[in-house]
Amino acid sequence: MKAVGVIGYKKSGKTTLVIRLSQELSRMGYGVAILKHVSRDIDFPDTDTSKYRSYVPFVSAISSLETEIILKGEKRIEDILTYVNCDIVLIEGFKKGKTFPKIVCVRNKGEGKELFDGLQLFTASFDKNISDFTIENDDHIKKMSTIVAERSFKLPNLNCGHCGYESCFELSRGIVDGKETIDKCVSLNPPISIKIDGTTFPLNPFTSSLFKNTILAMLSSLKGFKKGTVEIEIP
């Protein structure tokens, strides 16, 4: 799964850009999801589902057309992405995110510099004179979508250090700069992977090796065991 952030101050065009990018990326054949940060309480209509959340930390409403999940408390982006099955996630807000590249929406010249952290791909705005791309220009939307499809990524935020960098943030900057690739992340290419109900759980190299060696040690004692790809299913 890939991701790209769309950040900027209020009224800079973030939501408009996210909608337009989601439409174009969908036309290009990608499965797209949107994740948005809000700075206030989330309002829900006065329904039974919203009433339930006063009593329990997890509420879900399921219909034949869609499913709604309400979780109490602030969650990490990584926690929410476990529910997502798509190709590209557009993340609106989360200025302090350090594990994915970003598009910076600006309202005036020089404003973007306040938001640059080494993860910016380009700037966008409603004014063609102050940014790399214009939000209301159809050709620019196509160009931005192509860049997103080619250069978006999401690191696991484990900060394990096995890539040679001190943090996922430092590796992310290297990827955006073009000095590194996503393959540098050892945790995204582990010797063992774990899926629960179809959702992959990233493991740092130490944990991955521990699982692998423990399982192989147990299996090697079984009669008829031979080396090969091991599949274990726990219902």
Structure tokens at 56: 């329990």
Q: In the chain, how many domains are there? A: 1
What is the per-residue pLDDT for 150? 97
Q: Count of residues for the chain?
A: 235
Domain-embedded: residue 104: yes
Report the relative pairing of strands 67-71 and 133-134 from DSSP bridges: unpaired
Structure tokens at 167: 């943090």
Distance CA(119)–CA(174), nearest Å, equals 9
> What is the full DSSP assignment across 96-145?
T--SS-EEEE-SSTTGGGGT-SS-EEEEEES-TTSSSEETT-HHHHHHHH
Q: How many other C-beta atoms lie within 10 A of the C-beta of residue 153?
A: 19
Distance CA(12)–CA(21), nearest Å, equals 15
* Domain at 119, CATH number: 3.40.50.300
Give the tens place of pLDDT for each residue, 147-160: 999 999 999 998 98
Domain-embedded: residue 230: no
Domain-embedded: residue 199: no
Prediction pTM value: 0.77
Domain that holds residue 12: 2-44+75-154
Give the tens place of pLDDT for each residue, 154-182: 999 989 888 899 999 999 999 999 999 99
Domain-embedded: residue 190: no
Burial label for 187, CB within 10 Å (0-12, 13-18, 19+), is buried
> What is the full DSSP assignment across 29-70?
T--EEEEE--SSPPP--SSHHHHHTTT-SEEEEE-SS-EEEE
In this structure, what are the phi and psi dihedrals at residue 122, rounded to the nearest 5 degrees?
Answer: -170, 175
Q: Which residue positions in the chain have pLDDT lower than 50?
A: none
- Angle at 173 (CA atoms; ends 151, 92), nearest 5 degrees: 60
Distance CA(60)–CA(119), nearest Å, equals 35
Strand partners, 3: 89
Q: How far is CA 181 from the centre of its chain?
A: 16
Domain-embedded: residue 208: no
Domain-embedded: residue 148: yes
